[in-house]
C-alpha cells in the first residue's frame, strides 16, 4: 500500500447496549452485547488515551444509552484528561440535575439529546417508553449550564408530519444546534424499513419546511437535515470513507469502522483488549479492507466522484445487493440501482393521507441485552 | 449576513473551544465539527474571549499584519466572525 494511513478524527465510544428505550429504528445490531461482556472502566480510560495519541480530536459517548453506565463521569473525565472533546449522545434518561452537574464538572463539552417525536404520544409510539417530559426537563437543565446542546429529532415516515411541531419545539428550547435526521436503514431500522421510509411527497414537503426553519433560525440555531439516501442520485460518503475519519469501539472492545459493519460476512474485528488502537487503525484486516481504491469495482475506480463518496456504503451494498465490495446500489450509476427503485416504488404506492401509525404489534421494538 | 457591531465582544459559544496549546495542530472544536486554525484564523479565535471588542481584534491584527492592506484585514476579520457566528461557534456580547 505504501503511504501512511492518515489519523482518525473521531472515536465513537459505544460503551453499552443497555438502554431504557426500545426504539424501532435503533442502529445497534440485532445481537446486543451482554452486560457482563462490557469493557471495564480502566480499559476505556486506556482506549481514550490511545485515541488522543493517535490524533483523535473528539470522543462521542453513545450506546445503547451511555447514562446506563455508572462510570460515565469517570470516562468523560478521562476523555478530557487525554485532551479530547467529550460529547454525550443520549436519550436523557435516566438523569437528574445532580448527575448532570457531575458530568459537566468532569468536563463534558456537548450534550446531544434525542427526540423520537414532538409530543409525548409519538415519542412513546416509537421508543416504547414515556420520555418526552423528562427530555424537556433535561433540555432546560443543560441550557442553564454552559455546555453545547444539540437536539436530535429522529425522523421517518410515521412522524415526518410532526416536522413543523419539531421546529417549533426547537425554537422554544433554543439549542445551539438541531439535527433533523432521517433514520438510516441498518440494524433494527432495516427490519422496520417498510414502516419507516418516507414517501417522495413527504420528503419534498419536509425540504420546504426545513428551508423556512433555516431562515427563521439563522444566527440562533445551526440546522442540519439528513435525508434518506435512497432518494438521492449519489451515495453518501459513509463515515467520511471506510477507515478514514472514524473508529467505533463496541461495548465488548471490538473495533469497527462503523455502526453496522458486523453484518459483513467473513470479517474479523480486532479487540482493544488484545491490541493497541494504533495497531488496529493502521494494520487490522477489517480497517484495511476497503481503504484506498484497489478494492473498488471498475465503475467506481473510473469515476470522478470516487474521492467524494468513496463508492458509498459497504454495509448498504451488502444489505441491498449482498455484495460488500459493490458500488452502493443507491448510486444512480450502479447497475443495481433497480433494487432501490423497487423499494421506492413500493413505498410510494402507499395511498396519500394514510399516515395513521400502525398498531404496536407490527413494530419490531428493540430488545434489551440479557 | 450583517456586519458585526464593532463594540460587541465575541465569545466562543457553549460547546465551542480551542484544543490544547500543546497539540501540534490548533483546532476549534464544536459539536460534530472541528475547524483547523492557522495564522490569522487562530489569532482571531484566540481573541474571541468575551473581552476583546471586534474593533480591538481588527486593530491588533492590522498591527500584526502591517504589510497587508488594513481595509482588507478588517473585511476579512468581519467576514470570518460573521461566518463563525452563523455556524453558532460565536456569540456577540
A160-171 pLDDT per residue, tens? 999 999 999 999
CA dist., res. A163 & res. A189, Å (int): 20
pLDDT at site A1:
44
pLDDT at site B23:
85
Other beta carbons within 10 angstroms of residue B83's beta carbon come to 12
pLDDT at site A2:
45
Rounded to an integer, what is the distance from CA B72 to the centroid of its chain? 15
Contact criterion met (CB below 8 Å) for A89 and A149: no
pLDDT at site A359:
47
Ranges assigned E (strand) in A97-221: 110-115, 148-155, 177-182
Higher pLDDT: B73 or A125? It is B73
Residues in B whose CB is inside 8 Å of some CB of A read 13-17, 19-20, 22-23, 27, 29-32, 34, 85-88
Contact criterion met (CB below 8 Å) for A95 and A145: no
Query: Residues of chain A whose pLDDT is less than 50?
Result: 1-2, 357, 359-360
Other beta carbons within 10 angstroms of residue A200's beta carbon come to 11
Computed over every residue of chain B, the mean pLDDT equals 95
Q: How far is B65 from chain A (nearest CA, A)?
A: 29
ipTM for the complex shown:
0.94
Contact criterion met (CB below 8 Å) for A196 and A363: no
CB-closest option in A58, A112, A218 to B29: A58
Report in angstroms the alpha-carbon separations of B72 from A6, A327, B37, B52: 35, 47, 19, 20
Ranges assigned E (strand) in chain A: 10-14, 58-62, 85-90, 110-115, 148-155, 177-182, 222-226, 246-249, 255-256
User: What CA dihedral angle connects A354, A331, A31 and A274, to 10 degrees?
Assistant: -160
**Which of A74, A63, A52 lies closest to A8 in space, CA to CA?**
A52
Within 8 A of B23 by CB-CB distance, chain A residues are: 83
Within 8 A of B31 by CB-CB distance, chain A residues are: 87, 110, 112, 148, 150, 176-177
Grid coordinates representing A163?
416536522
Residue A154: burial class (beta carbons within 10 Å; 0-12, 13-18, 19+):
buried
Nearby residues of A224 by Cβ (< 8 Å), 6 or more positions away: A177, A178, A179, A180, A181
Q: Does A110 touch chain B (CB under 8 A)?
A: yes
In what helix (H) or strand (E) does residue A337 lie, and over which residues does it extend?
Answer: helix A337-348
Q: Residue B61 phi/psi, 5° resolution?
A: -75, -30
pLDDT at site A35:
85
CA dist., res. A279 & res. A287, Å (int): 10
Other beta carbons within 10 angstroms of residue A275's beta carbon come to 15
> Among residues of chain B, what percentage have pLDDT more than 90?
90
CA dist., res. A274 & res. A1, Å (int): 25
pLDDT at site A353:
55
Nearby residues of A189 by Cβ (< 8 Å), 6 or more positions away: A24, A25, A26, A27, A183, A196
Q: Is the peptide bond before A76 cis (omega within 30 degrees of 0)?
A: no
Residue A88: beta bridge partners? A61, A111
pLDDT at site A248:
98
Q: Does A144 touch chain B (CB under 8 A)?
A: no
Cβ within 8 Å, pair B19-A85: yes
pTM for this predicted structure: 0.94
Would residue A292 be called left, alpha or beta, if left means φ above 0 and alpha means ψ between -120 and 50 degrees?
A: left
Q: Give B25's pLDDT tier (boundaries 50, 70, 90).
A: very high
CB-closest option in B23, B27, B88 to A176: B88
Cβ within 8 Å, pair B34-A218: no
Amino acid at each position: 500500500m505504501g503511504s501512511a494511513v492518515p489519523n482518525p478524527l473521531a472515536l465513537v465510544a459505544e460503551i453499552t447496549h443497555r438502554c431504557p428505550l426500545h426504539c424501532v429504528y435503533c442502529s445497534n445490531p440485532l445481537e446486543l452485547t451482554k452486560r457482563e461482556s462490557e469493557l471495564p472502566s480502566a480499559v476505556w480510560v486506556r482506549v481514550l488515551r490511545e485515541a488522543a495519541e493517535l490524533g483523535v480530536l473528539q470522543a462521542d459517548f453513545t450506546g445503547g444509552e451511555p447514562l446506563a453506565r455508572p462510570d460515565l463521569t469517570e470516562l468523560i473525565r478521562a476523555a478530557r484528561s487525554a485532551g479530547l472533546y467529550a460529547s454525550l449522545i443520549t436519550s436523557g434518561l435516566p438523569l437528574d440535575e445532580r448527575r448532570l452537574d457531575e458530568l459537566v464538572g468532569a468536563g463534558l463539552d456537548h450534550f446531544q439529546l434525542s427526540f423520537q417525536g414532538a409530543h409525548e404520544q409519538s415519542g412513546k409510539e416509537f421508543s416504547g417508553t414515556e420520555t418526552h417530559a423528562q427530555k424537556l426537563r433535561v433540555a432546560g437543565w443543560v441550557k442553564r449550564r454552559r455546555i453545547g446542546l444539540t437536539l436530535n429529532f429522529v425522523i421517518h415516515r410515521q412522524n415526518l408530519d410532526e416536522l413543523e411541531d419539531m421546529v417549533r419545539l426547537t425554537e422554544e428550547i433554543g439549542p445551539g444546534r438541531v439535527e433533523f435526521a432521517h433514520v438510516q436503514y441498518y440494524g433494527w431500522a432495516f427490519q422496520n424499513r417498510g414502516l419507516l421510509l418516507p414517501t417522495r411527497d413527504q420528503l419534498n414537503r419536509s425540504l420546504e419546511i426545513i428551508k423556512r426553519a433555516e431562515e427563521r433560525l439563522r444566527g440562533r440555531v445551526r440546522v442540519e437535515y439528513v435525508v434518506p439516501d435512497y432518494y438521492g442520485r449519489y451515495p453518501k460518503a459513509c463515515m467520511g470513507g471506510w477507515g478514514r475519519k472514524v473508529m467505533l469501539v463496541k461495548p465488548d472492545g471490538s473495533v469497527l469502522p462503523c455502526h453496522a459493519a458486523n453484518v459483513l460476512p467473513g470479517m474479523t474485528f480486532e479487540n482493544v483488549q488484545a491490541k493497541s488502537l494504533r495497531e488496529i487503525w493502521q494494520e487490522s484486516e477489517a480497517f484495511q479492507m476497503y481503504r484506498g481504491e484497489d478494492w473498488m469495482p471498475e465503475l467506481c475506480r473510473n469515476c470522478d466522484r470516487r474521492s467524494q463518496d468513496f463508492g458509498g456504503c459497504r454495509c448498504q451494498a451488502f444489505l441491498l445487493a449482498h455484495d460488500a465490495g459493490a458500488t452502493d446500489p443507491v448510486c444512480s450509476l450502479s447497475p443495481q440501482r433497480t433494487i432501490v427503485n423497487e423499494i421506492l416504488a413500493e413505498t410510494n404506492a402507499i395511498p396519500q393521507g394514510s399516515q395513521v401509525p400502525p398498531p404496536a404489534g407490527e413494530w419490531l421494538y428493540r430488545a434489551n441485552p440479557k | 449576513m450583517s456586519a458585526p457591531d464593532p463594540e460587541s465582544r465575541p465569545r466562543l459559544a457553549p460547546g465551542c473551544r480551542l484544543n490544547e496549546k500543546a497539540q501540534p495542530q490548533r483546532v476549534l472544536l464544536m459539536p460534530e465539527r472541528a475547524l483547523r486554525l492557522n495564522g490569522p484564523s487562530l489569532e482571531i479565535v484566540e481573541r474571541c474571549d468575551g473581552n476583546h471588542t471586534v474593533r480591538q481584534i481588527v486593530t491588533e491584527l492590522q498591527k500584526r499584519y502591517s504589510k497587508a492592506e488594513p481595509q482588507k484585514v478588517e473585511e476579512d476579520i468581519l467576514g470570518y466572525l460573521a461566518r463563525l457566528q452563523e455556524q453558532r461557534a460565536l456569540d456577540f456580547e
